[in-house]
């Protein structure tokens, strides 16, 4: 088996590209709204229609309890509604088929494997903040990053993604997971950032920044930057997240049950060459 760095190097060596705009290891947070241009990727011409269709279908799944996934780590708290089935949303395939090839050229310099897709709704609630609703980093391998799409209009009070920012820079934590030979617990327990550390960063000039934007806003980021989700004070926020990493060979489809997991699957995958989702 390879470490992630070894495998990514092999992937890049076998994939020729002359259009790389950003080194994957330099990625922090890249935000692109539907009416903006990005040097890293473009949206499909019918992107607004695709997002609207996904939004409506996710809304229908939220209202169908048989489509919900119950996360054991939530300890019984209803802090979000996670959608179990995502493979019956062909719009996601169309979006991925347009954006991910761009990222192969401009950022990865290799083929991409979409290892998992997570769709969920943040809802107003008074339950204790847990899991992703606390300041944290994901402690994933550096080569495994995320693309998050807002499926609803997101404002300050509807549960936006939040991070610490200073003059366009963000705090990136060191991962303790680099591959089969180095898969350790996070350096900070459960990778949840203690309050005193957040306070120190704020004293250094970092600001708590919420990312707002219209439906379809895209966040492409290294999930080892310090970030958190927020609980809406009214309405709700729907999102879909693509978990992506390099792969040596081009897969037959970016999204399929053969290659793509969801809430009921393990993530991240310790072996970077593994493309088959594994159940929890």
**What is the per-residue pLDDT for 128?**
63
Ramachandran region, residue 116 (left: φ > 0; alpha: ψ -120 to 50; beta: rest): beta
Q: How many CB atoms lie within 10 A of CB 5?
A: 15
pLDDT in tens, the chain (280 residues): 899 999 999 999 999 887 899 999 999 999 999 999 999 999 999 999 999 999 999 999 999 999 999 877 654 457 789 999 999 999 999 999 999 999 999 999 999 999 999 999 998 877 666 667 899 999 999 999 999 999 999 999 999 999 999 999 999 999 999 999 999 999 999 899 999 999 999 999 999 999 999 999 999 999 999 999 999 998 999 999 999 999 999 999 999 999 999 999 987 789 999 999 998 8
Helix ranges (DSSP H) in the chain: 4-13, 47-62, 90-103, 195-203
Q: What pTM did the predictor assign?
A: 0.96
Could you tell me where the beta strands, DSSP code E, fall in the chain? 29-32, 68-69, 80-83, 111-122, 145-150, 161-166, 169-170, 177-179, 182-183, 207-211, 218-221, 227-228, 237-247
| Strand-strand pairing, 237-247 and 80-83 | unpaired
Residue with tokens 């993604």: 161
**What is the per-residue pLDDT for 73?**
62
State the virtual CA torsion across 147, 151, 157, 161 in degrees, nearest 10. -10
């Amino acid at each position: 088996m390879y470490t992630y760095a070894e495998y990514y190097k092999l992937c890049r060596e076998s994939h020729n590209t002359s259009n790389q705009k950003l080194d994957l290891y330099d990625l922090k947070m890249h935000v692109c709204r539907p009416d903006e241009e990005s040097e890293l990727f473009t949206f499909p011409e019918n992107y607004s229609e695709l997002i609207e269709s996904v939004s409506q279908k996710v809304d229908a799944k939220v209202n169908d309890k048989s489509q919900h996934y119950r996360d054991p780590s939530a300890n019984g708290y209803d802090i979000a509604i996670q959608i179990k089935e995502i493979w019956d949303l062909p719009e996601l395939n169309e979006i991925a088929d347009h954006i991910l090839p761009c990222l192969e050229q401009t950022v990865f310099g290799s083929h991409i494997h979409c290892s998992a897709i997570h769709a969920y709704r943040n809802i107003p609630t008074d339950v204790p903040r847990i899991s992703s609703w606390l300041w944290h980093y994901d402690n994933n391998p550096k080569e495994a990053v995320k693309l998050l799409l807002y499926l609803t209009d997101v404002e300050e009070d509807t549960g936006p993604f939040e991070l610490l920012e200073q003059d366009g820079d963000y705090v990136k934590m060191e991962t303790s997971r680099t591959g089969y030979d180095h898969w350790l617990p996070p350096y900070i327990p459960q990778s949840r950032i203690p309050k005193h550390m957040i306070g120190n960063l704020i004293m250094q000039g970092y600001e708590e920044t919420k990312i707002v934007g219209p439906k379809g806003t895209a966040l492409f980021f290294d999930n080892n930057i310090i970030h958190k989700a927020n609980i809406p004070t009214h309405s709700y926020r729907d999102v879909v997240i693509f978990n992506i990493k390099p792969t040596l060979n081009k897969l037959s489809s970016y999204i399929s049950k053969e290659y793509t997991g969801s809430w009921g699957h393990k993530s991240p995958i310790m072996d970077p060459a593994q493309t088959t989702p594994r159940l929890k």
